[in-house]
Structures are given as structure tokens and as C-alpha cells.
């Protein structure tokens, strides 16, 4: 690993610990988060040439604290707070704070008053240690737009009056679902980017896995945390086989399974087996169980579609997500024939109207049924409606393969 990469990894691991320590001293989330970002930028530019300090976390806390102290002193209206600010200054050699504030920060970043888009951006910056520019680039929006989104999110949290600290048991129950939802949205955007020329953004899916591991360490008894981590690992394991050397999309049934990451599959399979074994099964566990069925099949034709169909039937009872019904239609077609699957798709005309995945799935099932002309038309419609360039190219190729 190169020295700059080692520094970058260390900074991202340290981000929540440093922010937690600074927030405990100054209490203001927005000011503390800005100061920590400035300290991390100074480390990024200075450490490669000067070398890392003996106590990197203490150094970051010191620099961030100095940033806030300087702001307090430069504001004439806050002169009375200089004594308090001076008392809070941190010596660079101070030991790293005990405990891990990652979970507390995640719960704060996933405040119920924030939209998912704002929660994602704030989590990646405050907990993941990514810069505003990096987050903007990942989600294909201007840096100024992302900066405004993050600023509004921090202001919303400030106005809520919420104090920093470990969430109560009730708050944890209420917000854990939001935390997992945000992390999985980040993973999905990294694994299958919703728009642009790239099929995936590995840095985002990797960050989602890293942060979910942190939640798992903090809440080892929560089966849904294990479920979402297992789902990520079992899905991420297929990344090496998803595209060819030119970046062309390769569907699951055609992938070279020898390229799949067996270590991730083993870890994910063990996690989901343990979580399901505890009794009550949540939706992430059910999705991970489906992924495990796919991953353990040595060939596409060996896939146990009947087991997958059972999991999707359970998922439908848990959620009203039309994407679950879409996937159940595919599994139904594999078990009972394409006509049965196409019949189920009829239920999705309204909830998924205009969605490219509905047309792509119908095309696949029509092709299974032998209606190549209708399948080609559906592939073309799906290609027109996706915003992902690799997906569009794949769908156009499928349509061309079936005829004019």
C-alpha cells in the first residue's frame, strides 16, 4: 500500500473518533465537523511530506480544536467565550479518546428530520471522512450543490437541539432502520451507479461495507445489522465477474463464477446463517439469504430457484416494495415458467410505470417464452429509460441480438 493511501485510510478510520472528541468539547455539530474536515485536509497535504505524527488522532483533535478556538476568538461578539475556549484546548500529545463514537455519529447523521439524500451526504462526510468534492463526484452533482445539501443537513440537526452521545434504547430502535437504510443506499449506488458512464463506484460500496462493519462491532447482537452486512458482502463478492475488460456488463447467469471472491462469500454466508438462526428474520436477512443461494450455486443452472421464490414470498409479506414483486416474478418464471412470471408483472404496471427494470424483466421473460419480437421491443424501451450508460449498452445489445 502506498504511503498516501495509508494516510487516507487512517484518516477515514479516525474521522468519527476525532469528530466525537471535538463535539464533546464544543457541542456544535456544524462547527466541529467543519473544523475536523479542515484538520484532515491539512493532514492530507502535510503528512506525506513531513511524516505522520506519533499520535495522529491527538494531532487531528488538537488542530480541529484550534480551528474552533480561533473562530471563537476572531468573533468580537464571542469574546466572553475565550476563557472557555482556552480551557478546552487540547495538547497534541493527548491520548486518543477512549471508546468509539462512530455509532453515535451515524445515529445523529440519520436524524429523522433529514431526507435520505441529506443523511447519505452527511454520513459520508462526518463519519466516512470523505470531502465534499469526493461526495459530489460520486453522486454526479456539482460540488456547490453537495456543499449546500450538507450545510442544510447540519443546520437541521443544530435546530433540532439534539445533544451528542450514545442513543437511548428507544432512539436506537427508532433510528437503526434508518442507519441501515442509508448505508445500503450508499452500497447500492457504489455497486450499480444510477447514472453516468461508470457501472459502479467501488469507493462507495467499499465505504458502505467499512461503516457497516463499524455498526456491527457496536451492535453485535442485532441480527438485521448482520443481515445487511452479509447482503453487502455476498453481493460485493461478484464484482470481479460483473464486467469484461472493456467494462461491458455481464449478467449474473453468464458470469465466470471462478472470479467470485470466495472469502467474502464465506464471511457473508456465515453471518447470515448465524443471524437467521436467531429466529425472527428481517428484510435484510431475507435478501442476504437470496444472495447466498445464488453465491453457493457452482453454475447458474444449479441455482435453487424454489428456495429463492420462498424467500421473496416472505419478503413480500414484510414490505410493500414493488421491486420485491419484480424479483418474485423472475423467480416464479424460473420455477413455474415464463407465463406465470409475466402474469405477476401485470401487478406492477402502476407502481413501476416507466421504470426501466420493469421493461427489462418483461423482455427477459418474453424471450424465455419464445416471443423474440416483443422481447426486443421491451429491451429497446428499457434502454431508452435507463440513465446508466453500461446498462443502456447491454440492453441495446440484447435487443439487436433478437432482431431489428
Average of per-residue pLDDT values in the chain? 85
pTM across the whole model: 0.78
Here the cell at position 187 is 452500497
Q: What pLDDT score was predicted for residue 94?
A: 47
Q: What is the CATH number of the domain that holds 64?
A: 1.10.1740
Which pLDDT score, from 0 to 100, does residue 362 have? 97
Question: Taking residues 340-358, what's their average pLDDT?
Answer: 93
Q: Kindly report, residue by residue over 145-181, the tens digit of the pLDDT.
A: 999 999 999 899 888 877 666 666 677 777 888 888 8
Has residue 35 been placed in a domain? Answer: yes
- The pLDDT of residue 309 is 97
In a domain, 222, yes or no: no
Give the Cβ contact number of residue 196 at 10 Å: 13
Distance (Å, whole) CA 69 – CA 86 = 7
Alpha carbons 288 and 302: distance in angstroms, whole number: 18
Picking from 57, 87, 117, the residue at the C-terminal end of a domain is 87
**Cβ burial 387-402 (10 Å sphere, 16+ → b, else e):** ebbbbbbbbeebbeeb
The C-alpha atoms of residue 255 and residue 335 are separated, in whole angstroms, by: 21
Q: What is the pLDDT of residue 96?
A: 46
Q: Does the pLDDT value for residue 88 go beyond 70? A: no
Q: 283, 319 in Cβ contact below 8 A?
A: yes
d(CA 77, CA 299): 70
pLDDT (tens digit, 9 = 90+) per residue, 230-273?
Answer: 999 999 999 999 988 887 889 999 999 999 999 999 999 999 99
Select from 64, 87, 110 the last residue of a domain.
Answer: 87
Rounded alpha-carbon distances, angstroms, from residue 11 to 2, 62, 207, 275: 14, 14, 13, 32
Q: Has residue 106 been placed in a domain?
A: no
Residue 318, pLDDT above cutoff 70: yes
DSSP-derived letter for residue 351 is T
Q: Looking at residue 358, which CATH number applies to its domain?
A: 1.25.40
Q: How confident is the model at residue 82 (pLDDT cuts 50, 70, 90)?
A: low
Asked whether residue 374 carries a pLDDT value surpassing 70, the answer given is yes
- Alpha-helix runs per DSSP H in 161-222: 169-191, 202-218
Domain annotation covers residue 44: yes
Reported confidence tier of residue 385, pLDDT bands at 50, 70, 90: very high
Say whether pLDDT at 325 is over 80: yes
pLDDT, greater one: 375 or 40: 375
Q: How far apart are CA 394 and CA 257, in angstroms?
A: 20
Domain range spanning residue 20? 3-87
Please say which residue of 37, 63, 87 terminates a domain.
87
Q: What number of other Cβ atoms are within 10 A of residue 265's Cβ?
A: 21
281 closest CA partner among 223, 349, 356: 223
- Classify residue 338 as exposed, middle or buried by CB count within 10 Å of its CB (0-12, 13-18, 19+): buried
Angle formed by the axes of helices 223-236 and 169-191, to 10°? 10
Whether residue 11 lies inside any domain: the answer is yes
Asked, for residue 402, whether it belongs to a domain, the answer is yes
Looking at residue 333, its pLDDT comes to 97
> What's the pLDDT band for 195 if we cut at 50, 70, 90?
low
Does the residue 105 lie in any domain? no
Residue 395 in contact with residue 382, Cβ under 8 Å?
yes
Q: For residue 47, is it within any domain? A: yes
Q: How many domains does the chain have?
A: 2
Residue 100 clears pLDDT 90, i.e. is over it: no
Least confident of 87-96, 111-120, 217-226, 343-352: 87-96
Query: Is residue 197's pLDDT more than 70?
Result: no
Amino acid at each position: 500500500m502506498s504511503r498516501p493511501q495509508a494516510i487516507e485510510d487512517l484518516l477515514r478510520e479516525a474521522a468519527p473518533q476525532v469528530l466525537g472528541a471535538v463535539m464533546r468539547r464544543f457541542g456544535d455539530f456544524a462547527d466541529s465537523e467543519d473544523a475536523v474536515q479542515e484538520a484532515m485536509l491539512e493532514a492530507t497535504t502535510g503528512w506525506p511530506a513531513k511524516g505522520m505524527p506519533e499520535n495522529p488522532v491527538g494531532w487531528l483533535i488538537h488542530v480541529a480544536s484550534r480551528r474552533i478556538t480561533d473562530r471563537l476568538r476572531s468573533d468580537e461578539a464571542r469574546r466572553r467565550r475565550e476563557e472557555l475556549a482556552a480551557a478546552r484546548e487540547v495538547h497534541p500529545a493527548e491520548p486518543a479518546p477512549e471508546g468509539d463514537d462512530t455509532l453515535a455519529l451515524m445515529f445523529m447523521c440519520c436524524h429523522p428530520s433529514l431526507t435520505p439524500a441529506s443523511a447519505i451526504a452527511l454520513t459520508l462526510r462526518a463519519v466516512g471522512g470523505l470531502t465534499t468534492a469526493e461526495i459530489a463526484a460520486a453522486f454526479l452533482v456539482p460540488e456547490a450543490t453537495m456543499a449546500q445539501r450538507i450545510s442544510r443537513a447540519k443546520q437541521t440537526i443544530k435546530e433540532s437541539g439534539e445533544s451528542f452521545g450514545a442513543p437511548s434504547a428507544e432512539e436506537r430502535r427508532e433510528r437503526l432502520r434508518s442507519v441501515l437504510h442509508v448505508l445500503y443506499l450508499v452500497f447500492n449506488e457504489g455497486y450499480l451507479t444510477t447514472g453516468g458512464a461508470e457501472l459502479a463506484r467501488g469507493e462507495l460500496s467499499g465505504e458502505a461495507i467499512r461503516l457497516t462493519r463499524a455498526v456491527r462491532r457496536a451492535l453485535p447482537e442485532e441480527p438485521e445489522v448482520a443481515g445487511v452486512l452479509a447482503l453487502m458482502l455476498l453481493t460485493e463478492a461478484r464484482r470481479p465477474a460483473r464486467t469484461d475488460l472493456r467494462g461491458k456488463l455481464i449478467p449474473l447467469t453468464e458470469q465466470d463464477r471462478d472470479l467470485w471472491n470466495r472469502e467474502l462469500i464465506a464471511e457473508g454466508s456465515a453471518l447470515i446463517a448465524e443471524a437467521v438462526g436467531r429466529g425472527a428474520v428481517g428484510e435484510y436477512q431475507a435478501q442476504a439469504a437470496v444472495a447466498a443461494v445464488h453465491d453457493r450455486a457452482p453454475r447458474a443452472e444449479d441455482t435453487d430457484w424454489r428456495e429463492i421464490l420462498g424467500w421473496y414470498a416472505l419478503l413480500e409479506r414484510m414490505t410493500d416494495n414493488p421491486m420485491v414483486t419484480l424479483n418474485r416474478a423472475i423467480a416464479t418464471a424460473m420455477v413455474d415458467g415464463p407465463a406465470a412470471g409475466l402474469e405477476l408483472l401485470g401487478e406492477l404496471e402502476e407502481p413501476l410505470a416507466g421504470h426501466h427494470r420493469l421493461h427489462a424483466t418483461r423482455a427477459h421473460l418474453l424471450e424465455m417464452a419464445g416471443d423474440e419480437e416483443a422481447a426486443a421491443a421491451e429491451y429497446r424501451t428499457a434502454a431508452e429509460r435507463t440513465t446508466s450508460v453500461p446498462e443502456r449498452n447491454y440492453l441495446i445489445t440484447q435487443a439487436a441480438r433478437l432482431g431489428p
